[in-house]
Amino acid sequence: MEGFVALYIFMLAAFTGYEIISKVPVILHTPLMSGSNFVHGIVLVGAMVAMGHAETDMQTLVGFIAVLLAAGNAVGGYVVTERMLEMFKSSGGKK
Amino acid sequence: MEGFVALYIFMLAAFTGYEIISKVPVILHTPLMSGSNFVHGIVLVGAMVAMGHAETDMQTLVGFIAVLLAAGNAVGGYVVTERMLEMFKSSGGKK
Amino acid sequence: MPMIIGVPKETAEGERRVAMEPSVITKLNKLGAEVCVEAGAGAAAFITDDQFKKAKIIDSSKELISGADIIFRVQAPSIDDVDAMKEGSTLIATIQPHNNLELVKKLQEKNITSYAMELIPRISRAQSMDVLSSQAAVAGYKAAIMGSDLSARFFPMLTTAAGTIRPSKVIVIGAGVAGLQAIATAKRLGAMVEAYDVRPETVEQIQSLGAKAIELKISAAGEGGYARELTDDEKTQQQEELASYIAQADVLITTAAIPGRPAPKIIPETTIDVMKSGAVIVDLAAEGGGNCTLTQPGKTITTNNGVIIHAPLNVPSQVAVHASEMYAKNLLNFITPMFNDEGEFTPDFEDEIIAGALLTHAGKITHEPTRELLEGAK
Amino acid sequence: MPMIIGVPKETAEGERRVAMEPSVITKLNKLGAEVCVEAGAGAAAFITDDQFKKAKIIDSSKELISGADIIFRVQAPSIDDVDAMKEGSTLIATIQPHNNLELVKKLQEKNITSYAMELIPRISRAQSMDVLSSQAAVAGYKAAIMGSDLSARFFPMLTTAAGTIRPSKVIVIGAGVAGLQAIATAKRLGAMVEAYDVRPETVEQIQSLGAKAIELKISAAGEGGYARELTDDEKTQQQEELASYIAQADVLITTAAIPGRPAPKIIPETTIDVMKSGAVIVDLAAEGGGNCTLTQPGKTITTNNGVIIHAPLNVPSQVAVHASEMYAKNLLNFITPMFNDEGEFTPDFEDEIIAGALLTHAGKITHEPTRELLEGAK
Amino acid sequence: MDFIVDGSYFIAAILFIFGLKRMSSPVTARRGIVWAGVGMVLATIITYFHKDIHHNYVWMSLAILIGGAIAWVTAKRVKMTDMPQMIALYNGMGGGAAAAIAAVILMQEKEISITLQVLAVFGALIGTIALSGSMIAFAKLQGLMWKTYRFPNQQWVNLFVFLVTLIIGFYITFSGTAYGMGILSIFFILALIFGVLMTIPIGGADMPVVISLYNAFTGLAVGFEGYVIGNPAMMIAGIVVGSAGTMLTQLMAKAMNRPITNVLFSNFGDGGDGKIEAATGSMKEIDANDVAVMMAFAEKVIIVPGYGMAVAQAQHKVWEMTKLLQERGVTVKFAIHPVAGRMPGHMNVLLAEAGVPYDIIYDLDEINEEFETTDVTLVIGANDVVNPAARTDTNSPIYGMPILNADASKNTIVIKRGKGTGFTGIENQLFFAEKTNMLYGDGATAVSELITAIKEL
Amino acid sequence: MDFIVDGSYFIAAILFIFGLKRMSSPVTARRGIVWAGVGMVLATIITYFHKDIHHNYVWMSLAILIGGAIAWVTAKRVKMTDMPQMIALYNGMGGGAAAAIAAVILMQEKEISITLQVLAVFGALIGTIALSGSMIAFAKLQGLMWKTYRFPNQQWVNLFVFLVTLIIGFYITFSGTAYGMGILSIFFILALIFGVLMTIPIGGADMPVVISLYNAFTGLAVGFEGYVIGNPAMMIAGIVVGSAGTMLTQLMAKAMNRPITNVLFSNFGDGGDGKIEAATGSMKEIDANDVAVMMAFAEKVIIVPGYGMAVAQAQHKVWEMTKLLQERGVTVKFAIHPVAGRMPGHMNVLLAEAGVPYDIIYDLDEINEEFETTDVTLVIGANDVVNPAARTDTNSPIYGMPILNADASKNTIVIKRGKGTGFTGIENQLFFAEKTNMLYGDGATAVSELITAIKEL
Ligand SMILES: NC(=O)c1ccc[n+]([C@@H]2O[C@H](COP(=O)([O-])OP(=O)(O)OC[C@H]3O[C@@H](n4cnc5c(N)ncnc54)[C@H](OP(=O)(O)O)[C@@H]3O)[C@@H](O)[C@H]2O)c1
Ligand SMILES: NC(=O)c1ccc[n+]([C@@H]2O[C@H](COP(=O)([O-])OP(=O)(O)OC[C@H]3O[C@@H](n4cnc5c(N)ncnc54)[C@H](OP(=O)(O)O)[C@@H]3O)[C@@H](O)[C@H]2O)c1
Ligand SMILES: NC(=O)c1ccc[n+]([C@@H]2O[C@H](COP(=O)([O-])OP(=O)(O)OC[C@H]3O[C@@H](n4cnc5c(N)ncnc54)[C@H](O)[C@@H]3O)[C@@H](O)[C@H]2O)c1
Ligand SMILES: NC(=O)c1ccc[n+]([C@@H]2O[C@H](COP(=O)([O-])OP(=O)(O)OC[C@H]3O[C@@H](n4cnc5c(N)ncnc54)[C@H](O)[C@@H]3O)[C@@H](O)[C@H]2O)c1
């Protein structure tokens, strides 16, 4: 990937992120923070790749830690978000 | 650029286009159509490049036509859009 | 020679309206007519002779009547007044022929062209001439005001330091022109309003004023938007069902009428017996005998259980200023098409509206039911 | 022995209220008191003896009065009635001591503890006992109703087939409790309402009811939320400025009062002269002599230029049901703190409210201005 | 330099996106086109320094000048009502340019990756269709050709042409560089023909939708060719327009209450065209957003309430809407017909309840002259009282009744639930009039929608 | 296989975007997290087939299991009120993972392009800061450490540490592969220290904003490392979160009425912390959107109107809002205090005018018990009539007056224009209560905003 292509992707992704959030009620701030926290749990994929082609033991160890942390990010992020969003359950159905 | 990167850019750009338009009052449909018509006038840039490295006379001719048409697209698109949007001028200021 | 329109002072007892209004004079003048008004004709409606300055003020009633080509009146004239009229002249008033047969005869004899405003067919085009509607609107408004004035209770809900006052319940029977206006006015004052009419289409109309429609099981929709008379069985059933509602009422306004017939007796004594002490009934149908059996037209009585029954006659007269204004405009709208562009008076007797209102003309009684009453069926 | 509260039938002429209400009896019983009501006491307020079933009904007025520890009344009792009272018993009523000096003396002599409800200080905590407010609210409402009833015009705007009726203009002078209520009621009926008061803070209050505030150049804000008296110059200026507004009015409701003084004469004859024929003035200040120079308290007159001046006395009486209810609740709220948890009657004479309302106690006149009137300054 | 060029393209792409975003709101729309314009100028100038351009600078400039000048003059001259066909024209030019770029690339017969080849050919195909299709659309709207043209089995013929074009396209794509000029020419010619065939049977009323579709096509073509020549600004602008244009096409079709497939293929059977030409005969539905914009940007609005407003008890909402309009500087008046509703003064009672001040309420005599100078008349649940039959149709039961001249105003919007008639039960020609649009729904709901829409402006 | 892997990542990226989009509306939020979850599972499973993974499958799985299990258990167990610190914790883990990836890459000392090098280092930096910063945030909220820690010249020390870290980062970036493990370790350690330093002086009340900021950091770090290892799913998810997180941080700071710089740097001077802990002393402002959500998702709402509603003539709007709430199934009641307003029955007149039916209007005696079971009490321009001083403060002029127990309900929202007192001119402790939030503005305007906000839900 050449630099500008990355820039384009960054720009478009940033615009997308911005558009998504621009009109959010305050009460959703925390769940949304939690949700986006979960989404960057995708770092797990990178951690797996890093560990998967680690060359030295040291690298494997760091990779292991990376995967461990990333898995924690993903799983914990999901559960916490899910629980927080539960409060929108019953009433949401009313409409 | 590899295929999937293009796909990502396409996806993000498409999402961006979709988000931009998703809530437009009917009265803006035509000006917006005109405005987006202007925007793809950027094809001029491509036409210039194509003409700029044309190899044969035939290619140069086709390139010439491309630039001509593209310039028409850009300039005409701009003027028409501008004129159409003029109607939002006076009243817009009232607010 | 322009036509002369004469407006005498009303002679009927308690009549405060006048068949003229300053702005109408200007318009009549434009049509090509001249207007003469009897001195003091507007006094009871708070219109001074000064305000009638566009018209000729004539002191003597006889002089005015005998000099006019067309007479505008609110109520039917006396026989004497007809005597004073020019032969072949025109009279426009609410004549109520079935109550004034002798008068009709006199009009016929004197060869007078007379129009009974209340007979105008109630078609869309004639709405601007419809005195029944305009005066019923006044009556309906006034009924609600009278109800609130007679009641010893607040209409609206009030939460105060001295407790919460519950809003009065006002029930309106008969949701015609007057009934709807009464509903609207009582609602405005903050009362809880419920209304009942036999015609099913009134349900939506009542709701369109934000009031609650009482729906019973009987319908009495008749022809032409009017109600038909109910059978005896139906009446009893209606009364019983209604009584349970009326027992709750603080003010009851009754406006039920069936054209050409005495007012239906919807509220029997048994219903009044279950009403609250201090409840008020305003019986707008008093003119037709009233909707309550206990009604004494023109009187206000209090029953043993403390129910006040008010049965006013000629209610529009109490809002004389505006009732006169509307009445005069009705007459103006009625007569306007009779003048042609040159200011000549050329009524088109073929016209549906004119034909409908025409009572006597050229020595004939043109209104069939009245003629039948006087001369028997053909 | 529980305290006995006696509620006699009001004896003042035209008084239809009663100082009791069925739900109040229950609450008094809970406090530990027993209630006796004179037979027929509630009749004029449409409360039957039946509805008072929680109380003992006593036929004879004398018997009731002499048997009671505490007497609830609306208006001041007659000297005779005081005579009949137990020595040392308690009287709660709107006594108006400055108009009833002899009575006060009698109360003092009989060693009666008397409270004048109208003297309760108008502090926040006392709002629920404030009979001036509760009865003024009734009067204000009723004033608007009377105005609409007396007027020969519609209050609301009506666009009809017989022309458009322009809404009436109602002007309210004095935007105290009664004035504001009159504004609200007239607005409800659809009138265009303008109001004027000398106190500047009323501007916002008038607007908070959706009406228009008339702002002149004079302010007469006095102490404690009441108005002060104006100088003569100021009065003239006020009158002139006001006259130009009042000339437009279809109905004028005046409620201006200055506590302890005769009502200010705000509407001189010159102002009435410029008013419309058929305009109506409801002078709620009639009790204090009226706000119009032409006012004849208790009468309804029509001036030469056709202005109707209605100057009713004791307006709350006309809404007897709810006025009684509110009055009775005021008394209840006043007396409740005087009972302790054991049902004993132990008024705290130190309390700001009780001290304020206390007129005579233990053979003394405790209300200073009244004492001064009777015994001269100390 | 390359860095500057790429950076400029990047900035241009951002300007395009934000420009379009601004164009999607009436308040910022005018600045939006300027932003996009700046992006375009920047991109064009910087392209002169593009590393792939080796020669032809003069010719290139000449082409820009000629193309630009012609477009400028025509665009300035054209009447406002002829705008749609001009958009079609310029759009066609854009499609043509994209196709021409593809042609140059394909002519160069270089070995390029299969992805590029696919996109180049596909871009060429839709660019060419957009070119010829737009030209037909232009010709139709300009009145240069018969409105519609049909022949038997048209759909089959079209399908056949399309498939042949596609097959040739496949061949070009997968034959490496083995295809020759001949095949290439046939490909383009067939694509041109298909664009013509696709467009000719579509009626005038549906043209805006079709133009929007071709606009999206051109966008996609530009995006694909941008990818092929490695120009991300073109790629992004093209795809954004392609996506936005597709969305817009759908919205437009929806606003006409027709699925997009219907627009494209249904006209072969019935005579669905000419709908706009025939003024009467159909009621035109309108969207609340549109009405909101019309009113918000109007000078004067008259509201005509009727019995339907009473039934819906919409008075409070109507007044709220009025206040919103007033805040924006719009003059709003209420016109009350003498017999609106079901009792004398019915409307007055309701409007007073909602708190509408008397001084903006007018009766028939006071306001009837004013409709002519009114931008928008909003009829809420009134029917008989605005029925022009009262003036013209001597047989009508309401003949002779004075009515409110709602039909005289520049635009009339009617809010009602459906096809219900009024008190007299007769049809109302006003609803079919050219300047009338129907906003269907319960009075309260419809006005609510208007309020929301006005607030969002 | 590569194609499938890449395709899966592509799908995962789309799922993330749409998941986040859905999460930004209360109605669809719950489904949003599920979408994102599906994307995550898909991406994780497919990564086993990634071409760059050669070994360590078992260890990898073990790490996932351990990390996941711990997170699962802790996340399930934690109390609702402790959620913010858990978010901080998991976010720190994400930042750490990103930093660790960078570490692995940098340790491999391959020749990579300068762009990659820059991004790898920058990602490592912010990932590490997010890691240690989040941990401190977690520790603070969990009560594991002193709330704030300050020392003289703190800001200068922080700046110094940051600059040194940056310089080392530059060195690593531009020295090709010449840097060694030592330098690398120092870089990471310094970054860790900076994260700690940056966070310790910030008070508890500001923590959510800071956590959100670190969340955005982690997002960016993930995005950058995604670029470095050529994984577009990571890249896009990371940048979207980075951008959304930045936006969110700003929104949160705005909701607290403080610029973000203030949150990060201002606390060095004054004792701005502990604001949330000290229940009284300050009024908490709230946003209309938030009030709208609270009410829309409540079971029961009580509205307490006062003189301010009359002054604002907001009655019509209040009723409109009430109807919107009712449509959503919320029970709404009006509580009228006997002396609300300036005349007996003042509120009744206004509510009747607006058309509020009598049966949802309650007086003090009827409703005062109900506040306890009420989710939201909305006080509109009332003051004295809800002043708890009447119950407790014997010196207060209103002592002894019965008041509406608005303070007993689960949440109390007060609409008023500013700090104006009521009729009696005294302070109102209700406004400072823990469960009370202030919605400032003219009554009519504020309720309008609520209406708009409710409609948008
Ligand atoms: N004012 C009087 O004194 C009086 C008395 C008696 C009769 N009239 C007669 O009544 C008529 C009054 O005319 P008008 O124009 O006011 O009313 P109209 O002609 O009766 O028309 C009312 C229209 O409102 C629509 N509508 C009904 N409910 C609605 C709702 N909830 N939301 C939106 N639209 C609704 C109906 O169409 P949809 O069903 O399609 O929605 C209908 O077409 C005149 O013909 C007059 O002569 C008047
Ligand atoms: N009901 C009666 O009969 C009567 C008669 C006389 C006196 N009073 C007294 O009046 C008081 C009534 O209490 P209350 O709670 O109704 O009112 P209040 O205590 O007077 O408080 C009104 C509040 O509304 C706010 N406000 C004013 N205009 C506003 C606007 N346009 N928009 C939003 N908020 C606005 C003011 O704060 P901001 O300035 O900050 O906005 C003020 O704090 C009691 O003390 C009562 O004793 C009652
Ligand atoms: N076509 C027009 O333009 C036009 C003009 C005026 C009136 N109208 C229609 O005619 C209707 C009646 O007008 P009106 O007010 O003069 O009628 P009305 O005075 O004759 O009767 C009053 C009402 O009493 C009702 N009523 C009769 N018997 C009853 C009973 N037993 N119980 C309860 N209610 C009973 C009637 O249904 C009527 O609504 C109006 O509602 C109006 O719609 C139409
Ligand atoms: N603190 C409380 O809780 C409480 C209780 C009741 C009343 N009040 C206040 O006291 C005020 C007065 O109460 P009220 O209605 O019994 O007063 P009132 O009956 O004594 O007077 C009526 C009104 O007339 C006005 N007025 C006097 N002279 C006037 C003149 N020359 N021109 C015009 N207007 C004139 C007064 O300002 C007053 O508003 C009320 O507005 C209320 O705010 C307070």
| HEC sequence for E331-353 | EEEEEECCCCCCCCCHHHHHHHH
Output the CA D207–ligand 2 centroid distance in Å.
Answer: 14
Q: Which helix (H) or strand (E) holds E397?
A: none
The stretch D189-203 carries a mean pLDDT of 91
Position F304 confidence tier, pLDDT thresholds 50, 70, 90: very high
A 10 A CB-CB count for E48 gives 13
E-F interface (Cβ pairs under 8 Å ≥ 3): yes
Query: Rounded mean pLDDT of chain D?
Result: 91
Q: How far apart are CA D32 and CA D26, in angstroms?
A: 10
Decide if F276 is inside a domain: no
For chain F, what percent of residues have pLDDT higher than 70?
Answer: 93
pLDDT digits (tens, 9 = 90+) for E51-72: 888 888 899 999 999 999 999 9
Alpha-carbon gap, residue C377 to C369, rounded angstroms: 9
Separation between Cα atoms, residue C20 and residue C33, nearest integer Å: 14
Nearest CA-CA partner of F239 in A54, E240, B4, B9 = B9
DSSP states along B26-94: GGGHHHHHHHHHHHGGGHHHHHHHHHHT--SHHHHHHHHHHHHHHHHHHHHHHHHHHHHHGGGHHHHHH
Q: Which pLDDT score is estimated for F114?
A: 82
Does E277 fall in a domain?
A: no
Do residues F140 and F96 share a domain? yes
The answer to whether E355 contacts F353, with C-beta atoms less than 8 Å apart, is: yes
Q: Do B4 and F6 touch (CB under 8 A)?
A: yes
Q: What is the pLDDT of residue E153?
A: 78
F363 is a catalytic site residue: no
According to the model, what pLDDT value does residue B88 have? Answer: 66
* Chain F residues whose C-beta sits inside 8 Å of any chain E C-beta: 313, 316-317, 319-320, 353-355, 452, 455
Question: What one-letter code names the amino acid at D323?
Answer: A
On whether any CB of chain D is under 8 Å from the CB of E408, the answer is no
Using one digit for the tens of pLDDT, what is the confidence trace for D288-323?
A: 899 999 999 999 999 999 999 999 999 999 999 999
Cα F349 from Cα F337, distance rounded (Å): 13
- Measured torsion, CA atoms of residues D363, D368, D374, D377, in degrees rounded to the nearest 10: 120
Asked if B61 has any chain F CB less than 8 Å from its own CB, the reply is no
Cβ <8 Å between A16 and B12: yes
Q: Which residues in chain E show pLDDT less than 50?
A: 268-280
Q: What is the largest CA-CA distance in chain E?
A: 86
Could you list the residue range(s) of the whole structural domain that residue E420 is in?
288-456
Q: Going edge to edge, which strands form the sheet with C212-213?
A: C212-213, C192-196, C169-173, C251-254, C280-283, C308-310, C300-302
Same-domain pairing of E217 and E332: no
Return the residue matching tokens 């005969």: E281
Q: Which ligand is nearest to the CA of D177?
A: 4
Which residue of E336, E338, E345 is in closest CB contact with D156? E345
Select from F252, F239, F12, F9 the least CA-distant residue to F126: F239
pLDDT tens digits, one per residue of C53-63: 899 999 999 99
Q: What residues of chain B score a pLDDT lower than 50?
A: 1, 90-95
Residue F282 resides in a domain: no
F293 within domain boundaries: yes
D226 touches chain C (CB under 8 A): no
The per-residue pLDDT for range F182-224, each reduced to its tens digit, is 888 999 999 999 999 988 888 766 788 889 999 999 999 999 9
Strand spans (E) along chain C: 3-7, 33-38, 56-58, 70-75, 90-94, 113-116, 158-160, 163-165, 169-173, 192-196, 212-213, 251-254, 280-283, 300-302, 308-310, 358-361, 364-365
Range scoring the smallest mean pLDDT among C104-113, D244-253, E227-236, F19-28: F19-28
CB C65 within 8 A of CB C5: no
Task: Check residue D224 and give its pLDDT.
Answer: 61
- DSSP state letters, F402-416: ----GGGSSEEEEEE
Q: Which residue has the higher pLDDT, F153 or D209?
A: D209
User: Do F177 and F266 belong to one domain?
Assistant: yes
Q: Does D180 touch chain F (CB under 8 A)?
A: yes
Q: Residues of D with catalytic annotation? A: 122, 127, 130, 133, 226
Structurally, how many domains does chain F consist of?
A: 3
Type of residue found at C241 = E
pLDDT at F400 (0 to 100): 82
- Whether residues E228 and E91 share a domain: the answer is yes
In this prediction the ipTM stands at: 0.67
Q: What is the mean pLDDT of chain C?
A: 91
Q: Alpha carbon D185 to chain centroid distance?
A: 17
Query: Residue E376 sits in a domain of what CATH number?
Result: 3.40.50.1220
pLDDT of residue A16: 85
Q: Give the neighbor-by-neighbor strand order of the sheet with E331-336.
A: E361-363, E331-336, E300-305, E376-380, E411-416, E436-440
Examine residue F277 and state whether it is found in any structural domain, yes or no: no
> Measured between alpha carbons, how far is F451 from F457 in angstroms, rounded to an integer?
10
Say how far apart CA D220 and CA D222 lie, in whole Å.
Answer: 6
CA–CA separation, F437 vs F284, rounded Å?
5
How does pLDDT run across F246-294, given as a tens digit for each residue?
888 888 877 666 677 776 765 544 433 333 333 345 678 888 888 988 8
Kindly list the catalytic residues of E: 384
One domain for residues F295 and F350: yes
Do F320 and F382 belong together in one domain? yes
Helix (H, G, I), strand (E, B) or coil at C237: helix
> Would you place residue D23 in the very low, low, confident or very high pLDDT band (cuts 50, 70, 90)?
very high
CA distance F425 to F422: 5
Altogether, the residues listed in chain C come to a count of 378
pLDDT at E204: 67
For D67-122, write each residue's pLDDT tens digit.
999 999 999 999 999 999 999 999 999 999 988 999 999 999 999 999 999 999 98
Distance CA B73, CA E265 (A): 28
Question: Residue of the nearest CA to atom 28 in ligand 1?
Answer: E308
For residues F15 and F98, membership in a common domain is answered with no
pLDDT value, residue F299: 87
Average pLDDT of the residues in C179-198 = 93
Structure-token match 């293009």, residue found: B6
Helix (H) or strand (E) holding C307: none
Coil, strand or helix at D64:
helix
- Starting from the CA of residue C200, give the closest ligand: 3
Q: Treating both helix axes as pointing N-terminal to C-terminal, what angle do E315-327 and F315-327 enclose, rounded to 10 degrees?
A: 120
End of a domain among E77, E103, E132?
E77
Q: Which two tokens stand for residue B46?
A: 């491509």
Per the CB < 8 Å rule, is E241 touching B60? no
Q: Using CA atoms, how far apart are residues D80 and D96, in angstroms rounded to an integer?
A: 17
Question: Measured on CA atoms in the order F33, F36, F42, F44, is the torsion positive or negative?
Answer: negative
Residue with tokens 């949003």: F32
- The residue with greater pLDDT, E178 or D182, is D182
Q: Which residue of F has its CA nearest to E445?
A: F324
pLDDT value of position A90 = 44
Out of F77, F109, F126, a domain closes at F77
pLDDT in tens, F276-286: 333 345 678 88
* Mean pLDDT for the stretch of residues F312-318: 89
C-alpha–C-alpha distance, residues D183 and D170, integer Å: 8
- D227: pLDDT confidence band, cut at 50, 70 and 90? low
Claim to verify: residue E314 and residue E188 sit in the same structural domain: no
The structure tokens listed for F65 are: 């299991």
Same domain, F172 and F305: no
Q: Test F401 with D124 for CB contact under 8 angstroms.
A: yes
pLDDT of res. B43: 92
What's the pTM value of the predicted model, to 2 decimals? 0.73
pLDDT in tens, F386-445: 999 888 888 888 888 889 999 999 899 999 998 888 888 888 989 988 889 999 999 999
Are the CB atoms for E451 and E324 separated by under 8 Å? yes
Provide the pLDDT confidence category of residue D226 given band limits of 50, 70 and 90: low
pLDDT of residue A2: 65
Does residue F330 share a domain with residue F211? no
Instruction: Give the pLDDT confidence of C212-263 residue by residue, as tens digits.
Output: 999 887 666 666 656 667 778 887 887 888 999 999 999 999 999 887 788 9
**What pLDDT score does D279 carry?**
96
pLDDT at F290: 83
CB–CB of B86/B31 below 8 Å?
Answer: no
Question: What's the CA gap between E367 and C49, in Å, rounded?
Answer: 32
Burial class (CB in 10 A: 0-12, 13-18, 19+), C1: exposed
Distance CA D358, CA F85 (A): 65
Percentage above 90 pLDDT, chain C = 73
CA C332 to centroid of ligand 1, rounded, Å? 26
Same domain, F146 and F261: yes
The reply to whether E276 falls in a domain is no
Q: Is the pLDDT of residue F94 over 90?
A: yes
Pick from D196, D226, D232 the residue to mutate for probing ligand 4's pocket: most ligand atoms within 8 Å of its CB. Answer: D226
- Shortest distance, CA E5 to any CA of chain A (angstroms): 11
Do residue F232 and residue B11 have CB atoms under 8 angstroms apart? Answer: no
Find the range with the poorest average confidence among D178-187, E246-255, F231-240. Answer: E246-255
- Beta strand E411-416 with E376-380 is parallel
Distance from C-alpha of D138 to C-alpha of D132, rounded to nearest angstrom: 10
DSSP SS3 for D308: strand
**In the β-sheet with D300-302, what is the strand arrangement from edge to edge?**
D212-213, D192-196, D169-173, D251-254, D280-283, D308-310, D300-302
- Is residue F280 in a domain? no
Cα B20 to Cα B85, C328, D196: the distances in Å are: 18, 62, 55
The stretches in chain A having pLDDT less than 70 are: 1-3, 23, 25-27, 87-95
Return the amino acid letter for C23.
S
Model pLDDT, residue F265 = 67
Q: Which of A36, A64, A45, A46 shows the shortest CA–CA distance to F102?
A: A46
* H/E stretch holding C12: none
Measured CA distances, C300 to C152, C283, D318, F356 (Å)? 15, 10, 16, 35
- Kindly give the distance from the C-alpha atom of residue F343 to the centroid of ligand 4, in angstroms, as a whole number: 11
- What pLDDT, on a 0 to 100 scale, did the predictor assign at position E148? 67
pLDDT tens digits for C313-359? 999 999 999 999 999 999 999 999 999 988 889 999 999 999 999 99
pLDDT given for residue E276 in this prediction: 33
Is F425 a domain residue?
yes
Last residue of a domain, one of F77, F92, F116: F77
Tell me, yes or no, whether F235 and F380 share the same domain: no
Instruction: Please give the backbone phi and psi of residue F415, each rounded to the nearest 5 degrees, phi first.
Output: -100, 120
Q: Are E205 and E271 in contact (CB under 8 A)?
A: no
